[in-house]
Structure 1
Amino acid sequence: MPKLNISVEQEQAAFEEEVKAIEKQWSERPHLKRPYTARTIAALRNTIPQSYASSAQGRKLWNQLNAHNVAGTCELTFGTTDPVVVSQMAKHQQSVYVSGALCGFSEVSFPGMDACDYPWDTVPKVVKKVFSSQLWHDQRQRQYRMRHPVSERAGLENWDYLAPIVADGDMGFGNLTSTMKMAKEFVESGVAMIHLDDLAIGMKKFTVGQGRTVVPTSEYLDRLKAVRMQFDVMGADTLLLCRCDIDHSEFISSVVDARDHEYVLGATRQVRPLKDVLADAQAVGEDLKVVRSAWKASAGLLTFDDAVKAQALEDQFKTYKLELSKASPSIASRREIASKVLGKDIFFDWELPRSYIGQYMFQPTVKTIIERAIAAAPLGDVTWARMDSPIWKDIVEFHTEVRKVFPDRLFAFGYTGDYDYGKAGFSESAVKTLHLDLAKMGVVWQVQPIWSLQGLNLLTEQFGKLFAEEGIAGYIQTVQTPALATKPMTDGFEKLSYCGGYLADAFFETVAGEEIVEKGSAPNIKRH
């Protein structure tokens, strides 16, 4: 292996130039606050500079979202993994969403519920598949248009097939290096933005009467830092969406971060540990859900602040809260202040309710989501609070309070397939304007994540029934005839400009030395 023939002075000069270039790039997005310097990132880069389509797509999406913010409008999109569906979204949507849940159903060897248990490169591979199809549609449309003279092109279809892709990064799939590798794969796939959440890996449960588990604030921030660092090492302008799934979470994996202590539940009565009670119940075949509920009632589960409130006079609790506002948020500070104000120790044991795998019981509020979102905001470009229910006052409080700290913050919002808007107090007219009302608060990117499950399944079942009952006559009447009659014709295999017939012919023509640009469409091009 030959030694590089470069002086250390030249090496240092090149390094300093790269540092300046990084600092200039960072200055274009001042809302981001890195915990490291441009010099550190420069030292982590390869010596061969590279560029990525992901950067162009990220900048494109950033401009789209900011334009919506200024106008008070929003982008409405939905989730899919199918390139055919994506080709039609170009006519109405500005972006495409690739959901991890959808990938887990349709893109893996062992499909199933969204437990985030698929290989870490699953979603990046789907993004690459979708982006490759977008590039192909962009290529065949461009070639088709160039076959026509300028005078005719205004009447031709001209869709923006390169709609930026937003993709699900889940919780990063492991330690920080795994998260970095996933981020790198996403950039190389052509993604415009990925979102990362604060859920605990391997703890998604759905049928045991328990909710989600989140990680400590510090662990969540480290995940975001790892992605931001990987983007910076690659020099990519890919966007990062900070998604907080802490709403209605019932557990937290650790109490290592004092910022989370306010919301951890503890027993206020001396009882046996929950894990021991459940182990005994399981041994004799009792219903664990019933036993768990009875134990919670007997333990008097409360947060520490609520435990203090239950034993303090009104003036004492006011004093406690005032003293606490000047101190650390840790449980140690809370105990010390409570003891001083009340003149006694408060019994509170957050070890007793821990699960058999070590989770602590947790009771988040809207304030919890706000605090975590504000802590994460400087590392990302957009914020998304995943909410289990569309409770309007909570939605307004969250977005309003975050914007008090970050006035120009951009937000995302996801509509789940089982939202009960009537139960949440929405009238029919309120549901119709919901996306516009959200947009006024800066919620510029709104998504129905699982349309391909609920939507495609419904349409497929309906057509399958019709086809089984009416045969080809039903197909001709309900699909083929209406599709061929539209102006322009609905995209399909019969439409050569869409399915790539002209592009395929162009390859043959080019190899044969023929000109593929129609006469008069490019008068300055000469034949060779």
Structure 2
Amino acid sequence: MAPLDIDVDAEQVAFDKEVASIEDWWKTPRQASIKRPYTARRIATLRNTVREEYVSSRQALKLWSQFQSHLDNGTYELTFGATDPLIVAEMAKYQQTVYVSGALCGFTQVLEPGMDQADYPWDTVPKVVEKIYRSQMWNDRRQRQIRMSKAKAERAKMECYDYLAPIIADADMGFGGLTSTVKMAKLFVESGVAMIHVDDLASGMKRFTTGQGRTIVPTSEYIGRLTAVRMQFDIMGAETMLLMRTDLIKAQFITSVIDPCDHEYIIGATNSVEALSTVLSRTMESGEPSLKELVLVRTEWEKTAGLMTFDEASLRSQDRLSTALAQRREAARSVLGKEVAFDWELPRSREGQYLFKWAVKGETERCLAVAPLGDLTWPRMDFPGEIHNALREKYPRRLFCFGYTNTYDWAGAGFTETDVKDSPSKMAKQGAIFQIQPTWCVQGIRYYADKSARMLKEDGIAGYVQEIQKPALAVGRNGSEESGAYLTDAYFETIAAQDYI
């Protein structure tokens, strides 16, 4: 291949223009609140010489406008997780957005289904997003063809829906190192997503049945993940939104003690004991202990270790963010006149995680630390009003997400039916303008499928006709319009040069 004949002066002019364009873009209302740790010049060097336009930007701007409207009006968007185009088409009549849950994709969109471990291929969710977006475009085209084949007076009486609802997708924890996170973010933009969320959980360490809680990564590692996503969006010139989900609340482990920001919350042993990993390994070697037996061994060890944070061990209140353990030891020594017994290596798990003491204060600090990199914050706790208020003191127009689970015991928590009904509005007033039930399909579809299957078993086709077919036909579910039959006919008519209008 022959080398290009480059005019370096013209090349420099074009590059400087690109840098200026990026800087101007970052000043727009949509981008102005985001703070980057890199320069526009750096991003310009990472871009292709040929620019591409992405539908993701259009959908993101649409979503941003919706959220700003909710924020100004004290309202909210409540949606649910879905992966099937048929379901998404029905959602368009009632919801402004579509959520694609990683957990739901792991159940229904892979060859080897499983629990929400984020152990499916990294391109799984982006592919589902693209499938949904293409189905949205098809429904939009189908609806337009039907409408524009009618006279104006008739169209005025017809229903019309916005099938192009922005898609929000679960990016889990980035699926590996920073380069994997970059590639994943790129594929999401290319798929047509409007916003993704990235969390601070540790890859491969989700637990659900062992009695152990979440494992998070250090604050600095989480910042790196988010920066990787933001960088890729900037390289592509995409308006794609970034939702930051922090799972520190109820976390029991952290993978590393590299970041002083986390030292206040790491638990150590204050008594002279064997390392937990040694005790567990010996138990494993002695036979084939059950899970229950291993949990019991761990519990008994914890009773003898004197587990607590360093501040608890030194009976001192430490409020200084980012104070490393070494400085905490020195401060305690100067006050107490002696060394404080504390070893955070001894309670480490067999996989190597450090024991962690979660706190609302720690969650708030982490949310504040990463806030400049993203557009919305999602603190994973039941009712995070305290965290919302703290962030809004620094970022008055901060937007939040709130997620509802399948199993939360509202009545057991003291909520009346009125309380439950009013909960979304109250959350919206605290800034949670985007609210989701991520895994409705796991619960809802199973419930309705079971109901339908039982009906067919007990009542036969008569039950189907009475309970499903008649009601569906009564509201226009005859299949001809929604299946795209008229759109297909229009293709044939157009090819045959027959004007159907």
Partner of 2:151: 149
Could you say which residue in structure 1 is the equivalent of 2:413?
424
Amino acid at match of 1:24: D
Q: Is the 8 A contact 2:182 2:228 kept in 1?
A: yes
Asked if 1 retains the 8 angstrom alpha-carbon contact of 2:171 and 2:198, the reply is yes
Aligned counterpart, 1:256: 258
TM-score normalized by the length of structure 1: 0.92
Q: Does the CA-based 8 Å contact 2:34-2:375 persist in structure 1?
A: yes
Distance in 2, matches of 1:170 and 1:354, equals: 25
Q: Which residue of 2 aligns with 1:514?
A: 498
In structure 2, C-alpha distance between the alignment counterparts of 1:12 and 1:223, rounded to whole Å: 32
Query: Is it true that 1:307 corresponds to 2:313 in the alignment?
Result: yes
Residue 205 of structure 2 aligns with which residue? Answer: 203
Residue of structure 2 in register with 1:505 after alignment: 489
**Alignment partners' CA distance in 1, 2:78 and 2:14:** 45
What does 1:185-264 align with in structure 2 at a 5 Å threshold?
185-264=187-266
Q: Cα gap change, 1:306/1:507 in structure 2, threshold over 3 Å: closer, same or farther?
A: same
Aligned counterparts of 2:451 and 2:319: Cα–Cα separation in 1: 59
Matches within 5 A, 1:133-148: 133-148=135-150
| CA gap 1:327/1:116 in 2 versus in 1, 3 angstroms | closer
Tell me the distance in 1 between the aligned counterparts of 2:115 and 2:137.
31
Q: What pairs up with 1:368-517 in 2 under 5 angstroms?
A: 368-387=362-381, 390=382, 392=383, 395-486=384-475, 489-490=476-477, 494-516=478-500
Q: Which runs of 4+ in 1 moved over 6 A?
A: none
Q: In the aligned structure 2, how far is the partner of 1:217 from the partner of 1:113?
A: 26
Aligned-pair CA distance for 1:243: 0.5
Supply the distance in 1 between the matched residues of 2:130 and 2:272 (Cα, whole angstroms). 55
User: What is the aligned partner in structure 2 of residue 20 from structure 1?
Assistant: 20
Equivalent position of 2:64 in the other structure: 62
CA distance in 1, matches of 2:60, 2:195: 6
Letter of the 2:278 counterpart: D
Matched, 1:48 2:50: yes
Q: Secondary structure at the match of 2:482?
A: helix
Per the alignment, residue 341 of structure 2 pairs with 347
How far apart are residue 427 of structure 1 and its match? 2.5
Indicate conservation of the 8 Å contact 1:211/1:248, yes or no: yes
Q: Deviations over 1:40-94 (max 9, x none)?
A: 1111111111000000000000110110011101000000111000000000000
Distance 1:265 1:358 in 2: 14
**Match in the other structure for 2:358:** 364
Residues 247 and 365, structure 1, Cα contact 8 Å, conserved in 2: yes
How much has 1:184 moved relative to structure 2? 0.5
- Distance in 2 of aligned mates of 1:438 and 1:263: 28
Sort the Cα spacing of 1:68 and 1:325 in 2 relative to 1 into closer, same or farther, 3 A: same
Match of 1:35 in 2: 37
SS at match of 2:174: coil
Q: Would you say the 8 A contact 1:327–1:333 is kept in 2?
A: no
Answering whether residue 316 of structure 2 is matched by residue 332 of structure 1, we say: no
2:402 match: secondary structure: strand
Deviates more, 1:50-59 or 1:326-335: 326-335
Which amino acid is 2:32 matched to? P
Task: After superposing the two structures, state which structure 1 stretch, 494-503 or 89-98, moved more.
Answer: 494-503
Whole-angstrom CA distance in 2 between matches of 1:6 and 1:140? 48
Change (3 A) 1:408 1:140: same
Opposite residue 165 of structure 1, the aligned amino acid is: I
Supply the distance in 2 between the matched residues of 1:290 and 1:214 (Cα, whole angstroms).
24
* CA drift at 1:327: 8.1
Cα distance in 1, alignment partners of residues 115 and 85 from structure 2: 22
Q: Determine what percentage of the aligned residue pairs are the same residue.
A: 55
Q: Which one-letter code corresponds to 2:348 in the other structure?
A: R
Query: Aligned-residue CA RMSD in angstroms?
Result: 1.2
What are the ranges of 5 or more consecutive residues in structure 1 without an aligned counterpart? 310-316, 519-528
Shift of 1:509: 1.1
**Aligned residue among 303, 307, 318 for 1:297:** 303
Q: Which moved more, 1:422-431 or 1:498-507?
A: 422-431
The match for 1:312 is none
Unaligned residue ranges in structure 2 (runs of 5+): none
C-alpha distance in 2 between matches for 1:357 and 1:469 = 51
> Which deviates more, 419-428 or 173-182?
419-428
Deviation at 1:326, TM superposition (A): 6.1
Q: 2:279 aligns with which of 277, 280, 294?
A: 277
Q: CA deviation at 1:515?
A: 2.1
Cα separation, partners in 2 of 1:328 and 1:250, compared to 1, 3 Å: closer
Offset, 1:6: 3.2
Matched, 1:122 2:116: no
CA distance in 2, matches of 1:43, 1:149: 53
Partner deviation per Cα, 1:243-267 (whole Å, 9 max, x = no partner): 0011101000000000000000000
Determine if contact 1:411/1:445 at 8 Å carries over to the other structure: yes
CA contact (8 A) 2:262 2:322 kept: no
User: C-alpha separation between the residues in 2 aligned to 1:238 and 1:192?
Assistant: 5
Aligned to 1:5: 5
Q: Distance in 2 between matches of 1:327 and 1:232?
A: 30
Aligned residues: 495
Deviates more, 1:40-49 or 1:281-290: 281-290
